[in-house]
Amino acid sequence: MGFLSIREVSLAIQGHMILDHVSFDVNQGEVVGLIGPNGSGKTTLFNLLSGFLAPTGGSIHFRGSDITNCSPSVRAQKGIGRVFQNFGIFRDMTLEENILVALEALPHEQKKLLGDMKFLVHRTLAMVGLEKSAKKKAGALSGGQMRLLEIARTLKCGKDLFLLDEPTAGVSPKMTGQVSGLIAELKREGKTVLIIEHDLPFIGRICDRVIVLDVGKVVLEGTPDEVKQSKELQEIYFGADPTT
């Protein structure tokens, strides 16, 4: 059984199959891309993994234990971190507070190992070059800066599995490089990452493996190169008659 294993997970809402018997494993230290057209169920799958939705069938195991029925906060304490498509930062709180509140929410035994919180907050902000804005409201940041802040926060909170929902959405091209650099940093630190992304070159640069989702089903799985060259992907994204 993998680090994260998803077994036959289904979600039906009012008779519609949003996810249809989805199964795949993610190994520790792996960076896996999750792609597929809009409405294919990618974000829904993330919501099932973070615990905001409960599957109507199947099970989810994380590090060998069944977390299918755990609450979001319990999953977070077990080490699952999430970066939201719509920026999961607290806009009316300062950057400092944004990091602090995350550190304070850690389980007791982990908090004891942190040492000086102030120092840790400073280091986390410095990692993404935002230490000078520590007292500013997070809502005043640019999209790219928000994303960096959120990833850095998740990284420093001792999370082991990262669910990144479109980390480049709303980020200027200039900052995209910085974001992918940070994800590479996650990989170096041995973290496991699951990324939803539309930017295929971006996926190609950083992912070990890619899973393609369409209409709630896993239709393709392989290395970025394999997937890029497959006919199915072309059909899913551009229809049956590709123009490129």
20, amino acid identity? D
Q: Which stretch binds another protein (CB under 8 A): 21-29, 80-88, 190-198, 203-211?
A: 80-88
Binding-site member from 13, 54, 126, 140 for another protein (CB under 8 A): 140
Residue 56 as a binder of another protein (CB under 8 A): the answer is no
Residue 73 as a binder of another protein (CB under 8 A): the answer is yes
Residue 122 as a binder of another protein (CB under 8 A): the answer is no
What CA–CA distance (Å, rounded) separates 229 from 234? 8
In the chain, count H helices and then E strands: 10, 10
Residue 41: partners with Cβ closer than 8 Å, 6 or more residues away: 11, 18, 19, 22, 213, 215, 216
Q: Which stretch binds another protein (CB under 8 A): 69-77, 175-183, 190-198, 214-222?
A: 69-77
Q: How far is the CB of 177 from another protein (least distance, A)?
A: 19
What CA–CA distance (Å, rounded) separates 77 from 69? 14
Residue 107 as a binder of another protein (CB under 8 A): the answer is yes
Q: Please, are residues 46 and 163 in contact by the beta-carbon 8 Å criterion?
A: yes
The binding site for another protein (CB under 8 A) comprises 50-52, 71-73, 76-77, 80-82, 84, 88-93, 97, 100-102, 104-107, 137, 139-143, 150, 153, 157, 170
